[in-house]
Homo-oligomer: A and B are copies of this chain.
Amino acid sequence: MMHAAPGGFVPALPHRRYTRGLFFSSRGSVLFKSIVLPVFLLGAASAAVADEGQWQPHQLPQLSSELKRIGITMPAEKLADLTRHPMSAIVSLGGCSASFVSPDGLVVTNHHCAYGAIQRNSTAEKNYIVDGFLARTRAEELPGGPNTLVYVTEKVENVTDRVLKDLDPGLSGRARHALVQARVKALVAECETDKAYRCAVPAFHRGLEYYRIKQLMIRDVRLVHAPSDRIGNFGGDIDNYEWPRQTGDYSFLRAYVGKDGRPADPSPDNVPYKSKDFLVVSAEGLKNGDPILLAGYPGRTSRYKLPSEIRFARDVDYPAKAATIIADLDVIAAATKGNPAWEVRYASVVKGRNNVLKKTQGLMDGFARKDIAAIKDVQDAALRAWQQGRGDANLLAELDRVVGQDMALQRQEAAWAEALHSDLLTSASTLYRLAMERQKPDAERKSGYQERDLSFVKARLTRLEQSFVPSVDEARWKAALARYARIDAAVRPQGVDALLPKPDALAAMYKATALSDTAQRLAWIGKDPQAFRTSTDPFIALAVRLYDADLALEERRDEIDGNLERVIPQYMAAVIDWKKSQGKPVYPDANSTLRVTYGTVSPFAPRDGLLKGPFTTVEGILEKETDKDPFIVPPALKEAIGQKRYGVFKDKALGTVPVNFLSSADTTGGNSGSAVMNKRGELVGLNFDSTYESITKDWYFDTAITRAIHVDIRYMLWVMKEVDHADNLLEEMTVKYPKK
């Protein structure tokens, strides 16, 4: 029930998409490796320079002098052009980022982004998760499955006028929202006449601008190579969000198309996609202080929220969310205890919940460490004073009012989510909603329930079987209903309480329903609403009963969203004018579209007297080695380190092979797998995470502590050569080796 951004991308993504691959950065510089490295201090303190900004490529020419200043030699104009190198090599996997590294559609991304493809090809006999996988020939490449897709952004058009023109200012929020949605859907439909493409019209600057993004969607994507997860996921959940880090989070996919060169369903007849562009890989390496460029598809940030919204998140939303997750995890643990099969079934749910919990706790820790709301207060007061000077105080009063309504409704939506915290009920509601929406012409259907969304809905309803046990679902829902009952009555959506089952009725419901069976669940797709209304399945019946309340809540959401979409763009326009008056360009919040950020390789001081980064080394892998997952070191890797077979991949200053490094680039979830490029636009690393201290970056970019974590490409190349012997891929890529 949490509302989606209008025109946002729908594809189902690995659960980590907004949790790993969240990242950042700034200036500063120390390279160190114990005492063997002479690092000299020269001169005194210089001003800190923020590397904040997830820029739309077309904005880069405005930043030309800044890029030059940090040492980027590639012209900003070149980076602004999506049809030219290197931007035309940057692709999306739908939730992760990636890039072409050969003219034959070879794609490099994170190990965790290709995990689904690795997992679906693994069996007890051929365990590619633990053993890794390498296709020595194209014929050996394995199907990535329906969730492994490559999106190549081909066109980005500003369609703001078409979305917003002649909107009657007197429209209600709901009417305005509906009209904007209809225009967005029309723009998408117009673009998707060629089924090879997937289009979206996301809002920028919270609705000030709309761009239509046209992406070639390649749907035959194969697994080419992945190291063992003991390399690709070394440190696992324990090291998630942590530094020091020594994770080889990389893997290779290949995009395939029909013989006609157009996207096609998976088929042995397909041929490698001839990528127009690819990145050159540089094994020359970076050192501390070197500039980097990072391009990818960051998911979502909230950098322009009001101080009141920060306080709401900090004081209300996050604490409640953390408490709910902790309680839910306890219930899952108790309900699956003693049944290993059930534990396995819920392992990924638990992992996902824990990951969100760690992020939520990181946000709360970050807010406790630094009073971001107070910092925003100062900025907000300055903006308001400036706006007042322009004689337009109404806007901000109106903004405060609508934002206040939004926060109040968010609390009700959270309560609603508690009341309906059952995977089975969610499935039933989705099915009935789909039936209702399909009564309308496709263009008028709710986004997410159009024909174009059907395959994703079906996949979601099918996938449930992998992580569902009726008795566990029942226990989770029962506990959630008890939590719901403790929520302040004023916050519970009106009229809902009476519709909910009593806790002691749940057992009978789970006994009577047929929805636990995947085939039975899927069989409801295509049935008309009347079939639902006459069904005796208790979950279907409940979904029907709850429909009006759900819709009422959604209408209130639409009303508020419509008002937000009307007011916030005016606010953002004021922010942009204000910043412009200070000579500063403004980047829009992340919205899963292609962005470029830049920064430098740099460590950070999480606390007085302590410095983290910027590099880790292969020796650090042995430091962390235990005989237990996730710190098991594969024997071949251990041997290569032990024998110091570093060859050309040895960093001269470090005296060994670097594994991960930190940069000050501005990233977030969705940036997983993003290309990290050197000043010439050559691939030198892959983005895969950010530090725990950086988690609050989604709200506020703190130059001093925000750092993104990258795999050093030298580690990837070295493991491919010395451990996995992936010589075929090393040959296929264009690798620039350092001069001897």
Binding site for B on A (CB under 8 A): 26-48, 243-246, 287-289, 602-605, 607-613, 615-617, 619-620, 623, 652-655, 660, 664, 703-705
Bound CA span A386–B215, Å: 74
Asked if A31 contacts B41 (CB within 8 A), the reply is: yes
Asked if A608 contacts B244 (CB within 8 A), the reply is: yes
Which of B30, B246, B289 contacts A611 (CB under 8 A)? Answer: B30
> Can you pick out 26 interface pairs between chain A and chain B where the beta carbons lie within 8 Å of each other?
A27-B38, A28-B36, A28-B37, A28-B39, A31-B41, A32-B611, A33-B45, A34-B48, A34-B604, A34-B605, A34-B705, A35-B602, A36-B47, A37-B45, A38-B45, A38-B46, A39-B39, A40-B41, A41-B287, A41-B288, A44-B653, A603-B611, A608-B616, A608-B623, A609-B615, A609-B660
From DSSP, what is the main secondary structure of chain A's interface residues?
Answer: loop
Asked if A33 contacts B287 (CB within 8 A), the reply is: no
Bound CA span A623–B609, Å: 11
Chain B positions within 8 Å of A660 at CB level: 609
Asked if B604 contacts A620 (CB within 8 A), the reply is: no
Chain B positions within 8 Å of A611 at CB level: 30, 32, 603, 610-612
- Known interface pairs A45-B655, A609-B243. Does A29 touch B38 (Cβ–Cβ under 8 Å)? yes
Copies of this chain in the oligomer: 2
Asked if B33 contacts A605 (CB within 8 A), the reply is: yes
Which of B34, B39, B45 contacts A41 (CB under 8 A)? Answer: B39
Which of B37, B43, B613, B704 contacts A38 (CB under 8 A)? Answer: B43
- Known interface pairs A27-B35, A34-B28, A35-B28. Does A289 touch B609 (Cβ–Cβ under 8 Å)? no
Chain B positions within 8 Å of A246 at CB level: 608-609
Asked if B605 contacts A609 (CB within 8 A), the reply is: no
Chain B positions within 8 Å of A664 at CB level: 35
Asked if A30 contacts B39 (CB within 8 A), the reply is: yes
Asked if B603 contacts A620 (CB within 8 A), the reply is: no
Bound CA span A620–B608, Å: 5
Looking at the assembled complex, report how far the CB atom of A108 sits from the nearest CB atom of chain B, in whole angstroms: 23
Interface centre among A27, A39, A609, A610 (most CB of B within 10 A): A609
Q: Which residue of B lies closest to A655 (CB)?
A: B45
Bound CA span A243–B31, Å: 20
Chain B positions within 8 Å of A47 at CB level: 36
- Known interface pairs A612-B611, A619-B608. Does A289 touch B40 (Cβ–Cβ under 8 Å)? yes
Asked if B612 contacts A34 (CB within 8 A), the reply is: no
